[in-house]
Chain A
């Protein structure tokens, strides 16, 4: 069972975490690997993944967030 994970990262401490993309993975462990290998074009100092289904929309609860895929 695959889930979509959103990937967030930043290049330095002054920068805020930014959404850089998403990956499909069957579990958290592989989501971390896939995020690291798919979005390794920058020297990130921080990267994290969040299951898309755990993201709670604030402004429009009925609408699904648009992440680009």
Chain B
């Protein structure tokens, strides 16, 4: 299969699909970085705050790489991607739209939302699109620590006591639905174009299934009901989502968007006068 050195070698369909996917991944990493950073304080243990801070740095590092790729390959402007976009255009996982209310919600996002991004990054390894293939292995290597942190806390909360177990189960159910909404339907015209071109190393259906087949056994191991069930050897959501109104650009089923106050804080709007050199 041929490889692509730049976006100019892609067809219009492939270019549009890859830009949308990278932007959705970047938006999710932007909000993951923000929430992990917010939890530098208030964690149940000192070491957990260091880990949260470290994961935040990883996510912002990945965001810079993705924004650089979108800038050089798709003529996007980083300031536009972050500062001047309408809230309704953000394509992050909806579980990150609002502040994370509890430690169990942090763990659920760390496990499920970040875990789904790792499944996608794995599908971009050895990508035929060279600018992405060049940086994705580094991201996957760093994400291993995120997965380990999430699994460690998932197991700890699941076994500590009935209260932590119930809180974790509740948080995971809600975050799982939001994450599956972002993943979208099994078959998508845009992602199929990427698979056919070798830009994704697998089908989108397999990306979803790989994620579910990783999460399912973890919940089964801890006897937690997070809304999954096993059928014919594979894990599926017990209640299938209705994707009839799903928007492939925002990866949302409804007109939801990030919280305005959260984005104001994240963008540093309060300190806009100190953004030197910006128009």
Contacts and interface: CB of A to CB of B under 8 A. Distances in A.
Interface in A2-16: 2
B61 to A, nearest CB: 13
Contact of A34 (B47, B151, B155, B156): B47
A33 B45 contact: no
Nearest to A5: B47
Given A37-B51, A37-B54, A30 B145 contact: no
Q: Is the interface of B mostly helix, strand, loop or mixed?
A: helix
Contacts of A27: 152, 155-156
Contacts of B46: 24
B156 A26 contact: yes
A27 B151 CA distance: 11
A33 B155 contact: no
B63 to A, nearest CB: 19
Contacts of B149: 30, 33
A29 B47 contact: no
Most interface-central of B47, B151, B152, B155 (chain A CB within 10 A): B47
B156 A33 contact: no
Interface string B42-54: 0001111011011
Contact of B148 (A24, A33, A40): A33
User: Which of A25, A27, A30 is most buried by chain B, counting CB atoms within 10 A of its CB?
Assistant: A30
Contacts of A34: 47-48, 50-51
B211 interface: no
B139 to A, nearest CB: 16
B153 interface: yes
Contacts of A20: none
A32 B153 CA distance: 12
Interface string A27-54: 1011011101110100000000000000
Contacts of A26: 152, 156
Interface in B44-77: 45-48, 50-51, 53-55
Nearest to A1: B160
B54 A30 contact: no
Interface string B69-105: 0000000000000000000000000000000000000
A34 B149 CA distance: 8
Given A2-B45, A23-B47, A24-B46, A37 B155 contact: no
Nearest to B150: A33
Contact of B152 (A2, A24, A33): A33
Contacts of B47: 23-25, 30, 34, 37-38
Which A-B residue pairs are the 4 nearest by beta carbons?
A30-B152, A29-B152, A37-B54, A34-B47
Given A24-B47, A30-B148, A36-B145, 10 more contacts: A2-B45, A23-B47, A26-B152, A27-B156, A29-B155, A37-B47, A37-B54, A37-B55, A38-B50, A38-B51
Interface of B: 45-48, 50-51, 53-55, 145, 148-149, 151-153, 155-156
